[in-house]
Amino acid sequence: MAIERLDVRLDQERRRKLRELAEEQRTPVSETVRRLIDRAYEDTLVARRKRAAQELGQMEIENVPDAATLHRQLEATHEPTSLH
């Protein structure tokens, strides 16, 4: 995977918090940022799936597929390559 450089400007308080997180995890700040991004992205996908499941639960569907089929259909439909 190619690594690209990103310039992020942080105020002193956020910078302190980021350093504290990195020290706690015993990782470089850059790795801490990558992990935080991955975690936030996954949390967003989980929330999206929950909303989709809630919307499905409110629908009146006559022929409900079995759980495995429904899971595959949801994954195919709601597993984005990006958040948009």
Going from the first residue of the chain to its last (84 residues), give the mean pLDDT of each consecutive group of 10, the final group possibly shorter: 91 98 97 97 92 85 82 77 63
> φ, ψ for residue 15 (rounded to 5)?
-60, -40
Instruction: Please answer whether residues 64 and 70 qualify as being in contact, where contact means their C-beta atoms are separated by less than 8 angstroms.
Output: yes
Instruction: Please answer whether residues 29 and 18 qualify as being in contact, where contact means their C-beta atoms are separated by less than 8 angstroms.
Output: yes
Instruction: Please answer whether residues 73 and 65 qualify as being in contact, where contact means their C-beta atoms are separated by less than 8 angstroms.
Output: yes
Instruction: Please answer whether residues 45 and 39 qualify as being in contact, where contact means their C-beta atoms are separated by less than 8 angstroms.
Output: no
Structure tokens at 69: 């089929």
How much is the pLDDT for 71? 82
What ranges do the domains of the chain cover?
13-78
Q: What is the dihedral of CA 30, 35, 39, 42, to 10 degrees?
A: 100
How much is the pLDDT for 40? 97
How much is the pLDDT for 59? 82
How much is the pLDDT for 76? 81
Structure tokens at 42: 């996954």
How much is the pLDDT for 83? 64
